[in-house]
Structure 1
Amino acid sequence: MGDVWASLELNGWSIAGIVATLLATWLLASLARKGVRAALARVPNLTVGVQRLAERIVVYGIWLIGIGISLSFLGASMQPVLAIALVVGVVLVLVLRGIADNFAASVVLQTRHPVAVGDEIESGGFVGTVTELNGRSVVIRTVDGRTVHVPNSELLGERFVNNSAHGARRSEIEVRIEHPGEPGTGAENASAPDPVRALVVEAVEEAKGVHRHESVQLRPITLGAGRAVYRVRYWHHPQHGVAVTDAVVDSVASALAARGVRAVVTSDLPPAPLTPPMEL
């Protein structure tokens, strides 16, 4: 730095050049800020934080160029200055690499709209509702009241699920019924399987929150001596899964009990049993 200061030539012309350069830099930075702001205003759903970050990057770059030109009017040797600028630039790149990645990812998120505020998403083992999209992260609120900040680059780089993309979500419960008509079960009036299945489907349709425009599906899983196991699938609002499933379990259990059918109704689905490859 001593060589740089020793090479400076301070006179009227150099001062005039510096003043003119700094004024031009200030004017150009102001125009650039307005231009970037106007351009980003045309991008839909771009947050204020992202806009301000883009403005600052452009303005700071213009000021760095203006300061470099101002130093040249002093007759300073530019090699040390360029070396310092190169070191600072490398440090900034390393420090701001994550910020730049997240900023670029935020632009993609807010222009392609894979997620939006109010959507329920699953990412990194968390499930929650999107409350904010900013230049750094997607903020979600989980069902148990936690706030999670998922970096934008991480969200785009990994797989994530948008449960709200289609406006509805499917859930299912399992109904385990003691074999209809078996002596001593109290289910002699439901000796045929079809009335019991119809009863289950009707109970699901009557549960609060179940969509009517998508049909309820009942799949037999096990039909054997002593019991029948069914999986019942139904559609509901994507963010009301827990409440609707509780209502479905209560409705089906009550309907079966009222008919004297002994059954177990659960939303805690068991894992699929392991099957040897030769038996697949």
Structure 2
Amino acid sequence: METENIYELITGKLEGWLTSAIEMLPNLVLALLIVVAFYVLAKVIRKFVGNMLSRITDNKTVTGLAETLLAVLVMGVGFFFALSILNLDGTVTSLLAGAGIIGLALGFAFQDIAANFIAGVLLSIRHPFGIGDIIETNGLFGTVEKLNLRNTILRTPQGQFIYVPNKEVYENPFTNYTRTGKRRIDLACGVSYGDDLEKARKVAVETLSSLDMRDESKEVEFYYNEFGDSSINFSIRFWIDFDRLPDFLGAQSEAIMALKKAYDKNDIMIPFPIRTLDFGIRGGEKLNRVMEASSNN
């Protein structure tokens, strides 16, 4: 008797499930069609977003991430619609609540990672610098080797690699030396008080104006700026085409050598500090006298 009751119970359950499945079959088919439709829509949107972002940034990491996030978002919406059609609203509510709680917990746990991630996306979209640009940020100077979603990688002139968090780059001022393709070289020098200042200026301007690497679209600028201890000091400026650090260092070196050679040729003196060493017990005694006195004793 008990076996018959169990058999009837199981049979009734199976018949009930079969009846429910037959009744839900139209909704199930509709839900499957919705999932397929959103899957196709996700692929279309992914391709469209990829083409659009490729015109804005060359960073394939950001482009691929944006494509994936949008595709997952569209598929998630389609999945929730399908659950609603199957009268699983409670499941939808539970999933949304769980996702919100998990997202909040992850946000607190990985807020620095999230900040660097968002900063990396914004840097890639706004594109204030590109791969190969020479920048200075947070007291660090180097060439941009790579921009990923967490770090900006710089290579210093000495060859070391520096990993700078994207958040630090985005939130702080930085200098892009290669953005305009031009850079100004400022040289500080001085001439003696006995030299002709007009002649010294003319020689310096003519010398630097004749340099091959100088940008001829901009004039050489010369300014006297102070009376020094042993010289009248000036600064002279000129522009060059700038793409790599050796462009700047080479032009600066050539300018220094050319200016020194021109001043020597025109008998213009560049003073240098002179130090007098006093070896006497009393101030003002000559070194040779001190030596003679010491030898006699």
Same structural fold, with TM-score higher than 0.5 when normalized by the shorter chain = yes
Partners of 1:121 and 1:129 within 8 A in 2: yes
1:50–1:224 Cα change, 3 Å: closer
Deviations 1:84-123 (A, max 9, x none): 12223334555473223432342223xxxx4344443322
Aligned to 1:61: 73
Unaligned runs of 5+ in 2: 1-16, 273-297
* Structure-2 change in CA distance of 1:33 and 1:222 (3 Å): closer
From 80, 103, 110, the counterpart of 2:121: 103
CA contact (8 A) 1:129 1:142 kept: yes
Q: Distance in 2 between matches of 1:224 and 1:39?
A: 60
Deviation digits for residues 61-88 of structure 1 (CA, Å, limit 9, x no counterpart): 1222333344442747334333212223
Which residue is 1:145 aligned to? Answer: 159
Partner residue, 1:201: 205
Equivalent residue, structure 2, for 1:213: 217
- 2:120 touches 2:147 (CA, 8 Å); kept in 1? no
Residue in 1 that maps onto 2:12: none
Map 1:112-127; keep pairs closer than 5 Å: 114-127=128-141
Rounded to whole Å, the distance in 2 between the matches of 1:108 and 1:220 is 41
State the percentage of identical aligned residues.
21
Q: Does 1:255 align with 2:268?
A: no
Bigger shift: residues 83-92 or 165-174? 83-92
Q: Does the residue aligned with 1:209 lie in a helix, a strand or coil? A: coil
Give the residue type in structure 2 aligned to 1:84: G
Please say if residues 205 and 216 of structure 1, whose CA atoms lie closer than 8 Å, have aligned partners that are also in contact: yes
Cα distance in structure 2, aligned partners of 1:192 and 1:262:
10
1:259–1:47 Cα change, 3 Å = same
**Does the CA-based 8 Å contact 2:156-2:162 persist in structure 1?**
yes
Say if 2:82 is the partner of 1:51: no
Change (3 A) 1:92 1:230: same
- Which one of the candidate residues 236, 246, 268 is aligned to 1:232? 236
Could you say which structure has the greater relative contact order, defined with CA pairs below 8 angstroms and 6 or more residues apart?
Answer: 1
Q: Which has the larger radius of gyration?
A: 2
Distance 1:40 1:224, change over 3 A: closer
Distance 1:192 1:218 in 2: 15
AA partner of residue 263 (structure 1): I
Give the C-alpha shift of residue 241 in structure 1.
1.7
Q: Which residue of 2 aligns with 1:32?
A: 45
Moved more, 142-151 or 166-175: 142-151
Per the alignment, in what secondary structure is the counterpart of residue 77 of structure 1?
helix
Contact 2:135 2:144 in 1 (8 A): yes
In the superposition, the TM-score normalised over structure 2's length comes to 0.67
**Contact 2:231 2:271 (C-alpha < 8 Å) held by counterparts:** no
Contact in 2 for aligned 1:46/1:107 (Cα 8 Å): no
> Structure 2: which amino acid aligns with 1:203?
T
Please tell me whether the aligned partners of residues 103 and 152 of structure 1 are also in contact (alpha carbons under 8 angstroms): no
User: Which residue matches 2:186?
Assistant: 172
Structure 1: which 5+ runs fail to align? Answer: 1-8, 181-190, 266-280
> Does residue 172 of structure 2 align to residue 192 of structure 1?
no
Larger helix share, 1 or 2: 2
TM-score of the two chains, using structure 1 as the length reference: 0.70
Out of 73, 77, 102, the position equivalent to 1:88 is 102
Give the CA deviation at 1:138: 4.9
| CA–CA separation in structure 1 for the residues paired with 2:67 and 2:228 | 69
Aligned residues: 242
User: CA separation in 1, counterparts of 2:124 and 2:152?
Assistant: 9
C-alpha distance in 2 between matches for 1:225 and 1:49: 58
Distance 1:151 1:213 in 2: 39
Residue number in structure 2 paired with 1:19: 32
CA drift of 1:206 comes to 3.2
What are the Cα deviations for residues 9-60 of structure 1, in whole angstroms up to 9, with x where unaligned? 883536545533432332222222123223334x344432222111111111
